[in-house]
Amino acid sequence: MNALLFAVGGAWIFMVSLLVLLLVVQVLAGWRYRPRAVAAGGAPLPSYVVLMPAHDEAGTIGGPIAAVLKQLPANGRLLVVADNCTDATAAEARALGADVIERQDPMARGKGHALAFGVAHLAANPPQVVLVIDADTTPATGALDALAATAADLQRPVQALNLMLAPPGSSLRIRMAAFAWAMHNQVRPFGMHRLGLPCQLMGTGMGFPWSCVAGDAFASGHLAEDQQLGLKLAAAGQPPILCPGALVESWFPLENAALEGQKKRWEHGHLSLVKAVPPLLWRALRTRNAGAMALALDLCIPPLALLALMVLVACGFGAWMAGSGWQGGLAAAAAALALAGFAMAVLLAWYSAGRRWVRLSELASAPLYVLKKIPVYAGFLFKRQKEWVRTSRQR
């Protein structure tokens, strides 16, 4: 039994050390990167349509619609897909000046199906580029033109810098979530960008050449349909690329139930995609597809709180193995290095993007935040979320 446990501990420490190494490489490459502001003017813009999926967004959709319409060029268009709505979303969007189509199919819920419906509507007269902006997302000035121009120029999917903000007066729990989001969606993608590697799609602030979305590319009810699509496109030789000068922003919900439901959906969706990594890696190695390989490795890195728990378990194995000869000492040293590397990555990411949300003294409470996430990960094993649920927009 001890020999088996020793082997399991060694394998666990090795796996966790590799994951931490990947994280450290990304953070070291990205923590000091500052993108240039979007430049105005330049080459003629491609024709593009902004698709905005919306489910029961009456009362909150006005801001995002106004921000999009303010930026649209003469050859641009906003198309709102009012999906399975039970309120006045469609009427409100029309009154604000958006084109609106309505979809009712309670058996096929989720953003992927709404986007596929929108693409099918556009197929008779397709634009050169399709942009996706969620109904709770505000694009910064120039973001839409930058995404459209980059997607058309590179003929690849592009992803804006997608940030979620903690509302003023937020609890530490929400501000910690904002820091974790910034590490995942800012520091790490910046690192991938500086290394010349693709990035994951993030659900909003996305741009696609028409060839990438024609047909049923979006048609998915997966909780992480954006990441799933990014992997699919990467395997086809069109890995998404970050457009760091384009910024889109949204807000974390203030209600704890809404926040926890949103995070559970994201994290369960992410973890459920990990099973796609081995075949994707094998295919990428056989075809020498560096983009698919990079995205597969990036997907291996679990959510920050889960990785912290994995590091702590590795340290426990290391402490138990430390007195078992040179092999045990080596395992203990590897676990200690993994802990040090993880702590360094978190501190650098905090210095780069987290100081606006969390003070250094508050960061010391992170272990409690991590422990509170255990039920979320236990739920993935025993009661996994599989259906999309709308997040409350109130803040």
Examine the domain organization and report whether 244 and 365 are in the same domain.
Answer: no
Examine the domain organization and report whether 258 and 375 are in the same domain.
Answer: no
The pair of structure tokens assigned to 179 is 């820091």
Examine the domain organization and report whether 367 and 309 are in the same domain.
Answer: yes
Examine the domain organization and report whether 123 and 215 are in the same domain.
Answer: yes
Find the CATH number of the domain harbouring 66.
3.90.550.10
What distance, in Å, lies between the first and last C-alpha atoms of the chain? 53
Examine the domain organization and report whether 338 and 243 are in the same domain.
Answer: no
CB 113 within 8 A of CB 219: yes
| Whole-number pLDDT of residue 38 | 67
Global pTM reads 0.88
**HSE-up of residue 379 (Cα within 13 Å, Cβ side):** 16
CB 165 within 8 A of CB 179: no
312 domain-assigned: yes
Q: How far apart are CA 243 and CA 189, in angstroms?
A: 10
Examine the domain organization and report whether 163 and 78 are in the same domain.
Answer: yes
| Whole-number pLDDT of residue 110 | 80
Examine the domain organization and report whether 76 and 22 are in the same domain.
Answer: no
3-state DSSP assignment of residue 337:
helix
CB atoms within 10 A of CB 35: 15
Give 353's DSSP letter. I
The pair of structure tokens assigned to 226 is 């954006």
| Whole-number pLDDT of residue 48 | 97
Q: What residues make up the domain containing 303?
A: 2-31+283-382
Examine the domain organization and report whether 111 and 211 are in the same domain.
Answer: yes
| Whole-number pLDDT of residue 395 | 47
Long-range pairs of 358-366 with CB within 8 A, sequence gap ≥ 24: 358/172, 358/175, 358/176, 358/178, 358/179, 362/172, 362/175, 362/176, 365/172, 366/176, 366/308
Examine the domain organization and report whether 320 and 357 are in the same domain.
Answer: yes
Residues with pLDDT less than 70, the chain: 1, 38-42, 219-224, 255-272, 376-395
| Whole-number pLDDT of residue 112 | 87
Examine the domain organization and report whether 218 and 77 are in the same domain.
Answer: yes
For the chain, the domain total comes to 2
By C-alpha distance, which of 57, 36, 330, 303 is closest to 177?
A: 303
| Whole-number pLDDT of residue 377 | 67
Examine the domain organization and report whether 79 and 154 are in the same domain.
Answer: yes
